[in-house]
């Protein structure tokens, strides 16, 4: 590995790119995160001084399927483009990108600026034909891995759906019973908050006005947490106009399909709520 690392590389900055796809992985798969941070020691062992070694970990918890939300990846591309980077350290190709477009753009820029790519397996010079070929193969394998993961997850969901066991996050105002069937939330406060939101919207015709009315009355609006330590619990917080719009856009018709027909909704609702169900109104 050391034969490809020259003095000109060491005179530039070495970047260690650290990424996990979700915050759940960051919390639960700490060994992978530690291994990625340990790449800084690898850079030091290859001759980079500590002052010239930087860690980019701002993309922890963000998927590598796209670069649009990964600010640190964009920063890395910019620094490589300026010729300021001697080597990019990553645990494996998938840490840098799951998209062939993003990966090959990085590789092409590295080849133009003489920047090395270093992972757990070795050190690669993208300007070298054989190294470039191997890096391209790693990119294909990384994208294929993402495809197979999606297939397995989707297959698992479909199998659960066939057995009637598939559960998914419900909008506020609905809950699962012991059957499990989708029913109105047994918490009267939750039902009251949802009913009040619709009543205020009918009165004002403005999502902003609804949020202002909740704030003026000192009222909170519920949200059920899914995943993490708060899984299944209600969290009450300030209602925003954006949240009001999300409630209004979640149509009852979508829920009626999941529960086996519109009759379920109309049998469990009364008064103005029935009218909302017939009109295709929303719960969240």
Task: Indicate which residues carry an active-site annotation.
Answer: 21
Residue 89 Cα distances to 19, 183, 188, angstroms: 12, 51, 54
User: Using the 8-state DSSP alphabet, how is residue 126 labeled?
Assistant: T
Locate 39 and state its tokens.
């790449």
* Residues listed for the chain: 284
CA-to-CA distance for 166 and 104, rounded, in angstroms? 38
- What is the residue whose two structure tokens read 């479909």? 158
User: Using the 8-state DSSP alphabet, how is residue 174 labeled?
Assistant: E
CA-to-CA distance for 78 and 72, rounded, in angstroms? 10
For 140, other C-beta atoms within 10 Å of its C-beta total: 12
CA-to-CA distance for 4 and 6, rounded, in angstroms? 6
Contacts of 3 (CB under 8 A, 6+ apart): none
- What is the residue whose two structure tokens read 């297939």? 151
Q: Which residues pair with 176 in a beta bridge?
A: 182
User: Using the 8-state DSSP alphabet, how is residue 61 labeled?
Assistant: T
- What is the residue whose two structure tokens read 């350290």? 89
Q: Which residues pair with 273 in a beta bridge?
A: none
Longest CA–CA span in the chain (Å) reads 79
């Amino acid at each position: 590995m050391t034969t490809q690392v020259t003095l000109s590389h060491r005179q530039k900055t070495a970047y260690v790119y650290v990424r996990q796809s979700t915050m759940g992985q960051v919390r639960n798969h700490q060994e992978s995160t530690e291994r990625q941070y340990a790449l800084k020691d690898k850079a030091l062992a290859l001759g980079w001084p500590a002052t010239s070694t930087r860690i980019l970990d701002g993309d922890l918890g963000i998927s590598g399927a796209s670069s649009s939300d990964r600010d640190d990846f964009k920063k890395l591309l910019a620094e490589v483009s300026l010729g300021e980077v001697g080597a990019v350290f990553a645990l494996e190709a998938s840490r840098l990108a799951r998209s062939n477009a993003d990966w090959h753009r990085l590789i092409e820029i590295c080849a133009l600026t003489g920047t090395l790519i270093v992972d757990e397996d070795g050190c690669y010079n993208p300007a070298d034909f054989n190294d470039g070929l191997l890096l391209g193969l790693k990119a294909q394998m990384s994208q294929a891995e993402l495809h197979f993961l999606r297939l397995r997850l989707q297959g698992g969901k479909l199998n659960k759906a066939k057995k009637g066991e598939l559960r998914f996050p419900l909008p506020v105002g609905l809950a699962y019973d012991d059957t499990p069937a989708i029913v109105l939330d047994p918490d009267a406060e939750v039902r009251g908050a949802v009913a009040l939101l619709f009543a205020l919207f009918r009165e004002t015709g403005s999502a902003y006005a609804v949020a202002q009315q909740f704030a003026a009355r000192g009222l909170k609006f519920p949200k059920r947490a899914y995943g993490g330590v708060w899984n299944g619990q209600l969290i009450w917080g300030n209602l925003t106009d954006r949240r009001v719009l999300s409630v209004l856009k979640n149509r009852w018709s979508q829920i009626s399909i999941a529960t086996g027909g519109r009759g379920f909704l109309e049998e469990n609702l009364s008064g103005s709520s029935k009218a909302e169900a017939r009109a295709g109104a929303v719960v969240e």
